[in-house]
Chains A and B, each alone.
Chain A
Amino acid sequence: MRAETLKGHLDGILLAVLEPEPRHGYSIMEALRDRSAGQVDLPTGTVYPALHRLERAGLVRASWSTVGGRRRRVYELTPAGRRALDTERSTWRDFSAAVTALLQPQPLAVSPQ
């Protein structure tokens, strides 16, 4: 799935990936691939600026920690991030229900003779 397809939904997706546990950048990318069964495969480098934007908005908190001898920036959801995720979920449910209904094949109208 290309970045353009995800446009507008990347923030919600990143928040959802961080919901169960804090993760560092590459681990977030691995989780995106795993949870989408490989459908979401963005250039990894483009996920980091999105994380910085979420941090600036106060939706995630980042801190440096050393794991396995390598310094990593670990991200976790803030309470505001959890609330934003709830909103994203409910907006997505409404949107997806509306689009599903609209895309449903309709019986062809029989034109009067």
Chain B
Amino acid sequence: MNWPSTPAPVTQLPVDRYLAEVTARLPGSPLAHRDIVAELRSGILDATDAHCAAGLPPAEAVQAAIGEFGDPAQVADGFRTEVAAGLARRAALVVLVTGPLVGVLWIVTAAASHLAPHHQWADLSPGFQVGVPLVAVAAGVTACGALFGIAATGRLTRWLPALPRRAPGAAAVAGFGAIGADAAGLALLGVQLATAAGTLSPWPAAAAAAASIARLVFARRAALRCLAIRAGLT
């Protein structure tokens, strides 16, 4: 139902204060809460209009509306799982999508630098024979964690039991996997620079290293944030 709108100045301050109390209890940045704030605000204003139409003066109507919306802690409790799921899903998606991109840059670097001149495993130095499987295992962990994190925050939640800590946990695993894969790739680059720097093709190597460092920084931040979010959920 559309009620006549209540004058804005009377409602602004108490509504802002209520919304601030809700969002202070939520994980993530104000950007992650933007839609929640907008939606709750329009709902509180609808409720205020309804109370005004029922005869309350605007200042009392807005207080009644806020009371009707409930304790900010209780509202935040409900939203915390949703915000956590959104943040975990985004982190898992970024880690999953950037993995193959960074991987291609490393493969181009290896090919341009003729690290395996006859395309034989035996052509690789012993360091690479250990390092490459490590990267592959870390990439596998990343992909599994990310895919599970994405599945646990989307349509599959219809059939999965509600476990709020599952998605941030899976996203954190994906983040740590990505840290491992990128750190191993950079370590292999270090080995190559120390032992046979002349064979390296500089531009692809620089691009791959820059991409891996950027992904590592993002993955570290995302993994730690997901762990902190997970710890705040029950």
Residues of A with Cβ closer than 8 Å to B? 24-27, 29-30, 42-46, 48-50, 52-53, 56-59, 67-73, 80, 84
Dominant SS at the A interface? helix
Question: Are B155 and A70 in touch, CB under 8 angstroms?
Answer: no
Mark each residue of chain B from 83 to 120: 1 if its CB lies under 8 Å from any CB of chain A, else 0. Answer: 00100000000000000000000000000000000000
- A50 contact set on B, CB distance < 8 A: 78
Min CB distance B73 to A, Å, is 10
Chosen A-B contacts, 8 in total, with CB atoms closer than 8 Å, are: A25-B43, A25-B46, A44-B47, A48-B36, A48-B43, A49-B75, A53-B157, A71-B42
Contact A25/B39 with A49-B79, A49-B82 known, Cβ cut-off 8 Å: yes
Residue of A67, A71, A73 touching B2 (CB-CB under 8 A):
A67
Question: Are A48 and B70 in touch, CB under 8 angstroms?
Answer: no
Q: Name the residue of chain A whose CB is nearest to the CB of B162.
A: A53
Q: Name the residue of chain A whose CB is nearest to the CB of B153.
A: A56
A29 vs B22: C-alpha distance in the bound complex, in angstroms?
A: 19
Is B15 interfacial (CB-CB < 8 Å)? Answer: no
**Shortest Cβ-Cβ A-B pairs, 7 listed:** A43-B70, A49-B78, A45-B75, A26-B46, A45-B69, A58-B155, A57-B158
Contact A43/B69 with A26-B47, A56-B85 known, Cβ cut-off 8 Å: yes
Is B74 interfacial (CB-CB < 8 Å)? Answer: yes
Question: Are A57 and B35 in touch, CB under 8 angstroms?
Answer: no
A78 vs B85: C-alpha distance in the bound complex, in angstroms?
A: 21
